[in-house]
Structure 1
Amino acid sequence: MKVAIASDDGKKVASHFGRAKGFVVCEIEEKEVKQRDYIPNTFTGHARGLHQGDHGHSHGAAHGRSHAGILEALKDVKVVISHGMGRNLYEDLTQAGKDVYVTDKVNIDEVLVLFVEGKLSHIESLLH
């Protein structure tokens, strides 16, 4: 199973999934991390600076369409993890069949251990 963790540096969990500079993508088999790669975020509008200020950006129904790039880029990922996330993206990811965890943990190694052990909690209040 593939897991994507939002990260700006490959070590800490980013505070906002869509604005993260990249993602640590791990292949997990039999409760063990088999492969770990860092993929730069070139597919979200926020990361590319397209949503600075208001500039017509809406968090209404049209906003969901802007998530097409991230949904496509992470199509092979089953689980996504972040330290914060917008509610619209959360809903789009869950509707796409992803398991989503928004956690208060910031160390990626700790998050991976908790996830593999089945002890990582989703904290609803961290959604914005």
Structure 2
Amino acid sequence: MPRPRCTRRIISEIRACSIVPFMDDDKLARELFAGADLVVLESDEAEALRLADLENLYQGKAAQLMGISRQTFGRILDRAHRKVADALLNGKALKIEQARAPCLERPPFNEKFKSGGQTPFLNLEETSMKIAFVSDDGTTISQHFGRAAYYVVLTIENGKVIQKEKRSKLGHTQFSGLHEEHHEHGTAGAGHGFEPGAMERHASMAQAILDCKALIVGGMGAGAYQGIKQAGIEPIVTDLESIDEAAAAYIAGTLKNHIEYLH
């Protein structure tokens, strides 16, 4: 005899009651979505959803088909799940970026980048993205993620920075009484930042940059590093001080990720 169905407790307020399929008619879409917040699902995120949720493939196989690592696929899929859930549950409009298929959003990893600990070259000719930095003065990269004053977010199109903005950032002053970061160096997953409540704190810090592909810092704890990754953002620890210099290196694919600096 099958087990009886348990009562489900639902505490979320669902604000959407329908979903409209993707339309090529921009005018009609604007009329239907007038005044609605917009969530943009990028082409790689839609592909990750198709492979994992529709084709039911293991992440390793899906990553192989997309020409990326399993870890990168997992970050893309997490980001896609979060966007779709946000649109469905919060009543936001979901826009799917179109891409000709089959296509390459960016070229495969270069072998020297695979072995050299560098980020892969990004083909920005047909895409745009945002990357974030932690900073105290707007021009240099802060050496301490938790205490940095704000984020500097760059919008990149066609391999060029077209917009620069400052965003408010939660820091240690907003989490009074909680364990603060220390400066001892260690290895990822073995340092501080894993105390109770730390992951929730890091998730709150990441809320302001969920639309960014990467976060570039001068230093951070191992727990914060893992927290940013779980938010679907690639954390990069650099020894460069200038935001402009680090941005140019990121675009060129020569920005090294010094995870040995995690503490």
TM-score by length of 1: 0.86
Aligned length: 122
Task: Please say which structure displays the higher CA radius of gyration.
Answer: 2
How far apart are 1:68 and its partner, in Å? 2.6
- Of 163, 166, 170, 1:38 maps to 166
Q: 2:142 aligned with 1:14, yes or no? A: yes
Q: Which runs of 4+ in 1 moved over 4 A?
A: none
* Larger RCO (alpha carbons 8 Å, 6+ apart): 1
Q: RMSD of the alignment, in Å?
A: 1.7
Amino acid at match of 2:167: I
Q: Hey, which of these two has a bigger chunk of helix by percent?
A: 2
**Distance in 1 (alpha carbons) for counterparts of 2:220 and 2:251:** 22
How far apart are 1:84 and its partner, in Å? 0.2
TM-score by length of 2: 0.44
Q: 2:220 aligned with 1:85, yes or no? A: yes
**Distance in 1 (alpha carbons) for counterparts of 2:136 and 2:241:** 11
What residue is the counterpart of 1:65 in the other structure?
A: 200
Say which SS state the counterpart of residue 257 (structure 2) adopts: coil
What residue is the counterpart of 1:116 in the other structure?
A: 251
- Of 50, 57, 61, 2:175 maps to 50
Question: CA 1:25 to 1:90, structure 2 compared with 1: closer, same or farther past 3 Å?
Answer: same
Q: Hey, which of these two has a bigger chunk of strand by percent?
A: 1
* Structure 2 segments unaligned to the other structure (5+ residues): 1-128, 181-192
Identity %: 35
